[in-house]
Chain A
Amino acid sequence: MKPTLSKELNRRSFLKLSTLASGGLALAYYLKSATSLEGQVSKLTESTDENSFKPSAFVHIAHDGTVTLASARPEIGQGIKTSLPMIIAEELGVKWTDVKVISVPLDPIFGGQAAGGSTSTPTSYMHLRRVGATARTLLIQAAAASWSVPVTECYVKDGSVVHKPTGKSLSYGALVQAAAKLPVPDEHSVVLKDPSEFTLLGSRIGGVDNQKVVTGQPLFGIDQVIPGMLYAVYVKCPVWGGKVVSANLDVVKSQPGVRDAFIINETVPYHNNPVLGLVPGVAILADSTWNAFSARKQLQVVWDEGKFANDSWSGYSEAAKQMATTGKGLKKVRDSGNVDQAFQTAAKVIEADYHFAFIGHTNLEPQNTTAHFTGNKIHLWSPTQNPGDVQASVAEALDIEPENVSIVMTRIGGGFGRRLHPDPCMEAAVIAKKCGQPIKLTWSREDDFQHDHFRPGGFHHFKAGLDAKGKLIAFADKVMGFDAASGADNYPARFIDNCRIEAGKIPNNVPTGPWRAPGSNTYGFVICSFLDELAHAGGRDPVEFSLEILGTKDVLPGTGPRSAPYNAARMRGVIKLAAEKAGWGKTLPKGQGMGLGYYFSHQGYVAEVAEVTVTKEGELKVTRVVAAVDVGSQIVNLSGAENQVQGAIIDGLNSSWRQELDIQNGRLVQSNFHEYQMLRMPDTIRDIEIHFSKTKYPPTGLGEPALPPLAPAVANAIFAATGKRIRQLPFSHTDLRWS
């Protein structure tokens, strides 16, 4: 399932709209309100200075030359609050150290404000360059007019316009009054910098809020406090989709510090799915988080658990097996060439079953939202990745107009896709309305596990045919999953003449949602592992085998509107680069091995070579990973980019080594971190080498694409080291002992 982002404003109309709507005042408004609302943006004394210069909603230059740039998308740890304003600053021609960055609430004048699917960089890059260039153009015009010289004789440097022939200069601060009076040019008429002249983009810039992070300032959703607020917990049925029959509210209300407790028995679906939006439960409101948590221990609820109360992972596995054997419930999503005939002529036919478990997002900051309902309006402070959907869903839940829902997006203690869904905001909103006081809803870690919208598990049955030379000539995949059907273009579909993909949904009621590199994070594992099997079965080198599949064509178009073109040349490029830098092909003693993983996801091409050691007792250590990453022509912030790739690689190991969630009696078995093994410092990969390969393509995002190749790279390295083939996630289910 792809993350669903709220509709992005058409880029072309954007600048026009923003300049119109802002009327030169927009940012000033936000500077003022955000200061009081968020408590985390610096106070700008001149924010309402009428003579200041505001060529767009994103840029504000005060009389004293202070440059303030708006960061419109939520910071989830992907570094966007730093990297997106850097793009404006580069074109604007100001020193980064002279720039202030502020977060702004949800407002249509900023266009799309979601953060997910690694989309922020690709959708913002050109737009924000134009925003910066437009401001620069106006400042140059103002300076040129004041000197009565042609604009072509002027250039900008570090916040000043310089007249080349005479060397005289004027600071931006001195120009704002004149620049503010000039008509804003069409965004497409302004001249952009030649990327070879970039000084800021591609350099290493630390996060703008680093100092606040390391001193514990109130940045996060869970840190928000509003006067008179109560602390809320919301207890839902452990069986997804269950409803409240009754609860001992009187007992709960008599607990220390408890101010109120009530039942909410409404269901408001999200994306037409009743388990993803507001679900029934019991709200408890107290004078502190601890008192709310304590009172909850006394709560007893009689639940109507519904018809899914007997579901289990083992039941789902059984159902998947049935589907694979009988074909019942499977639908052909691709059938090209003549697959059956190709299998008959193949020199070798190989079949294998793969599967992977459910896992959770486990954002370290538990879900929370602060809400205040007054009159017919609600105001929310929330760590949401997707404020547009929050606005629509909360409006629906409260039956009010979307414009009566305002949202401050706080810094977010980890996104990973979980916070694209608005359920905690819907809960907080409904509770706040019902109790009539401002509230902060905090999920316990147990809530966060039980009511995650999980990365779904899944099952694949593969069948492949090789010719006498070990070339892949036929490929078939049966996919049994928990949510939307598998795509027709899943690699290597477009590259194999004879290819069949059948997909079906296992009946279930488990809430699932996007998890970092949705779809790709598991498909990358199963397909790159199976291809490695095929390479070995045909006596071929895995790198060379994959390059053969990728062929000689440059770009393969997608089937249907939702499938992206696949640039095989870029993929071949990163595979070769990773193999070369890793020293692919060197002989290693038994117990050590190298493996390749590669995947195209979220517009990025990434190949990774992992090196592992496995002791005879079966103990695994991932010693080195070499990554080759092609996300286009320009890395925005090198420090942030490397951080994302390192994080994605370690998270790739984190999520595939020991993590799994089990379902029994229609509910989750695991409740907290003691039952769910997260990767910790001693198991991290010490040696991670990252190579960005610069290509001519537009820059794309880095939150996700470096994750999918890691699991197969490690699994294939384990095979090289031990001869043990891993066909399931987590790895820890496979006995790795060897002799």
Chain B
Amino acid sequence: MSTYNLKINGEKKSVTVASDTPLLWVLRDTLGLVGTKFGCGIGQCGACTIHLNGIAVRGCQTPVSSAVGFDITTIEGLDKEGKHPLQQAWCELDVAQCGYCQSGQIMTASALLKRNPKPTDQDIDDAMAGNLCRCATYTRIRAGIHKAAELTAGKEAGV
């Protein structure tokens, strides 16, 4: 057991856990941030996607010890009001079915939009291939990313 000082969603948190504990379980069990989901534990499903310094990573593959010093963002902290363009687009297009994969989808998509504000279908295929949706809401996830890109562009253009 060791103590780690983390910065999560802009807040400082200190946790005492085994050093090999994946960030996923620190978030879920220690800090009660359960929006980050457990799906496979081996980096295959993307349900646990979070950001380290704005880059999408797998929470189940990130030992807590390696997350020290990074800005960690989870779905709960993506936008203070819960109104990130992707979150708005997701509600407007009614993307979710069961919803279990969707925090991971949104975290991967938000990292994509940050580096590529106007992604093509091909860009979306490449960026989103690591996120499974068992309910197969892929049609609407794709539409949601395009919609969010529009919303952002519209906001920047002042419309």
Contacts and interface: CB of A to CB of B under 8 A. Distances in A.
B124 to A, nearest CB: 7
Contacts of B18: 256-257, 290-291, 294
Contacts of A672: 40-42, 44
A217 interface: yes
Interface string B6-35: 000000000001101110010011101111
B34 A223 contact: yes
Contacts of A332: none
Contacts of A215: 35, 75-76, 78, 82, 87
A431 B46 CA distance: 30
A536 to B, nearest CB: 30
Contact of B34 (A216, A290, A414, A682): A216
A682 B98 contact: no
A76 interface: yes
Nearest to A637: B94
Interface stretch (A46-54, A201-209, A610-618): A201-209
Interface in A542-591: none
A137 B29 CA distance: 49
Interface residues of B, number: 63
A220 B140 CA distance: 22
A346 to B, nearest CB: 42
A527 B55 CA distance: 48
B57 interface: no
A713 to B, nearest CB: 16
B96 interface: yes
Given A77-B97, A210-B96, A411-B98, A288 B136 contact: no
A251 B19 CA distance: 20
Interface stretch (A151-159, A371-379, A645-653): A645-653
A637 to B, nearest CB: 9
Interface residues of A, number: 69
Contacts, number: 193
A704 to B, nearest CB: 13
Interface stretch (A6-14, A97-105, A359-367, A399-407): A359-367
Nearest to B26: A290
A216 B76 contact: yes
A73 to B, nearest CB: 14
A222 B142 contact: no
A214 B44 contact: no
Nearest to A674: B44
A709 interface: no
A672 to B, nearest CB: 5
B91 A214 contact: yes
Contact of A77 (B98, B103, B138, B141): B98
A214 B94 contact: no
A207 B99 CA distance: 10
A75 B76 CA distance: 22
Contacts of A643: 94, 97, 137, 140
B98 A414 contact: yes
Nearest to A204: B94
B99 A211 contact: no
A225 interface: yes
A216 B121 contact: no
B45 A673 contact: yes
A363 B99 CA distance: 11
B92 interface: yes
Contact of A646 (B21, B44, B100, B136): B136
Given A256-B18, A646-B136, A445 B39 contact: yes
Given A648-B136, A681-B125, 5 more contacts: A210-B91, A214-B102, A216-B36, A290-B21, A294-B20
18 contacts: A77-B96, A210-B90, A215-B35, A216-B35, A216-B76, A220-B34, A220-B37, A223-B34, A288-B25, A363-B98, A365-B39, A413-B134, A416-B134, A445-B39, A680-B132, A681-B129, A681-B138, A681-B142
